[in-house]
């Protein structure tokens, strides 16, 4: 006898708590094999294909494309063959971080093959929704209002709190009535359409209906501005959260210097003219950075505030900013200090291509110890970069352009670039930061300086 098993959104690692369904790879009624990818999701860090640990027939899918689900929410159900002798269905166990298949999943309502499972609308404190339990007046429609609020995601709680929305007045569309972010956003939209405030807390009296001459009510304490609203989610949301945290926690400072890059440009041209693999300019700058970090290890560190310690790291995992259609991402070149210019060039190219295709893994987007930001590709000269938390510094590189420059006592046209270093003032003072930046500038102006460290 077939057994219907439920496959939940696994823990994707790196502290991720939710993911958005980008594309279903299977339909209801399809036969899937063990470890076959069934859905493509987008997390705050990368696009991931999720394999199913069960083999059988897909009987239901949970969530349409574009729906955001929390970790642990059902993805699909699969009808498999007879269970193994120990009473558990066969599974590969080869899913993703934190998701095991050794225990039988919780039993839930079975869904007939071919039955669509759209996201369930929520009732917003008196705003009826067609097809909902509340619209039918059933008691089941009010289950979960009393007692603990079924919410997992802290983002959902914060969104509701910031907009004055009482979660106890919502009926979640997730498993077992779990309230999702989509439920809160729907509630806020419905409240706005009705021209009223968010639901009052349980036990309080709802405000009287406004008179025709009264000003329209607001969702939050301040008037909601008109205009296009773009959700801060996915990569954009992750960038917003990380940069905000950096600004809150890191007392940063920036120093900069104009540098004559003529000799570095000539050196690269000569290297590429000699035959063999081409060397990129960013690879040469990365090589200079790793040499500078060997001299000034304070800038290749992180701060442990709980222990009140600065942790100087013995390896350089070099992040670099890459602009993609999905937003800004920072791929990480592992063990950059152990790579030569040719290896760095190849790895930069590989990670950049993967970033543009949306194929970077979470491991390729985390663990950086220092970041190189080449914003010169956007045609700008300078910037004051925000440190990529929990790192301690970032080197910014502007565009290289011809400028008047005093060279060997005479005015000449040289290739000039502005270098900017933003650093965590907890790990070092200006003398160390200035020494690092000056060494980088010296290597750019006189590439032979770098040979002393090789």
| pLDDT of 253 | 95
pLDDT digits (tens, 9 = 90+) for 48-71: 788 888 889 999 999 888 888 888
User: What's the predicted TM-score (pTM) here?
Assistant: 0.57
Around 195, how many Cα atoms within 13 Å sit in the side-chain half-sphere?
A: 8
Higher pLDDT, 145 or 379: 379
Choose the catalytic residue: 304, 315, 425, 442.
425
pLDDT digits (tens, 9 = 90+) for 368-399: 999 999 999 889 999 888 999 999 999 999 99
pLDDT digits (tens, 9 = 90+) for 187-246: 787 777 665 444 444 444 444 444 444 444 344 445 566 788 888 877 677 778 888 999
Choose the catalytic residue: 183, 337, 429, 446.
429
- The pLDDT-based confidence of 403 (bands split at 50, 70, 90) is very high
Domains belonging to the chain, first-starting first, are 1-118 (2.40.50.100), 139-224 (no CATH), 235-451 (3.30.559.10)
pLDDT digits (tens, 9 = 90+) for 91-134: 544 444 334 333 333 333 333 444 444 443 434 443 333 333 33
Active site residue 446: no
Active site residue 429: yes
Output the furthest CA–CA distance in the chain (Å, rounded).
90
pLDDT score of 363 more than 50? yes
| pLDDT of 43 | 75
């Amino acid at each position: 006898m077939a057994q219907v098993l439920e496959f939940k959104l696994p823990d994707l690692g790196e502290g991720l708590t939710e993911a958005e369904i980008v594309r279903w790879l299977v339909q209801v009624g399809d036969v899937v094999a063990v470890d076959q990818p069934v859905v493509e999701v987008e997390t705050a860090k990368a696009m991931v294909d999720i394999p199913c640990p069960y083999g059988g027939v897909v009987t239901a899918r949970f969530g349409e494309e574009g729906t955001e689900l929390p970790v642990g929410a059902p993805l699909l159900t699969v009808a498999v063959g007879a269970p193994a002798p120990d009473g558990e269905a066969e599974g590969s166990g080869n899913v993703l971080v934190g998701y095991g298949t050794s225990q039988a999943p919780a039993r839930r309502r079975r869904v007939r093959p071919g039955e669509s499972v759209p996201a369930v609308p929520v009732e917003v404190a008196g705003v009826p929704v067609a097809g909902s339990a509340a619209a039918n007046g059933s008691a089941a429609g009010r289950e979960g209002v009393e007692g603990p609020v079924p919410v997992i995601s802290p983002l959902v709680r914060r969104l509701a709190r910031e907009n004055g929305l009482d979660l106890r007045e919502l009926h979640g569309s997730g498993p077992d009535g779990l309230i999702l972010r989509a439920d809160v956003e729907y509630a806020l939209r419905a409240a706005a359409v009705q021209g009223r405030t968010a639901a009052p807390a349980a036990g309080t009296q709802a405000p009287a209906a406004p008179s025709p001459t009264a000003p329209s009510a607001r969702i939050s304490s301040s008037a909601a501005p008109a205009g296009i609203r773009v959700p801060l989610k996915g990569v954009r949301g992750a960038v917003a959260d990380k940069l905000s945290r950096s600004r809150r926690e890191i007392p940063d400072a920036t120093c900069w210097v104009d540098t004559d890059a003529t000799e570095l440009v000539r050196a690269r041209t000569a290297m590429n003219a000699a035959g063999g693999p081409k060397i990129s300019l960013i690879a040469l700058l990365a090589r200079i950075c790793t040499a500078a970090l060997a001299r000034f290890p304070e800038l290749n560190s992180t701060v442990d505030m709980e222990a009140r310690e600065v942790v100087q790291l013995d390896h350089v995992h070099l992040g670099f900013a890459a602009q993609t259609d999905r937003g800004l991402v920072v791929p990480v070149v592992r063990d950059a200090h152990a790579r030569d210019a040719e290896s760095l060039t190849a790895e930069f190219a590989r990670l950049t291509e993967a970033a543009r295709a949306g194929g970077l893994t979470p491991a390729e987007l985390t663990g950086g110890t220092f970041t190189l930001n080449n914003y010169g590709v956007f045609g700008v000269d300078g910037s004051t970069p925000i440190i990529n938390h929990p790192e301690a510094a970032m080197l910014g590189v502007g565009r290289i352009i011809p400028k008047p420059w005093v060279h060997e006592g005479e005015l000449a046209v040289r290739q000039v670039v502005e270098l900017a270093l933003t650093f965590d003032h907890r790990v070092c003072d200006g003398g160390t930061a200035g020494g690092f930046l000056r060494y980088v500038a010296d290597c750019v102006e006189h590439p032979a300086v770098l040979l002393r460290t090789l």
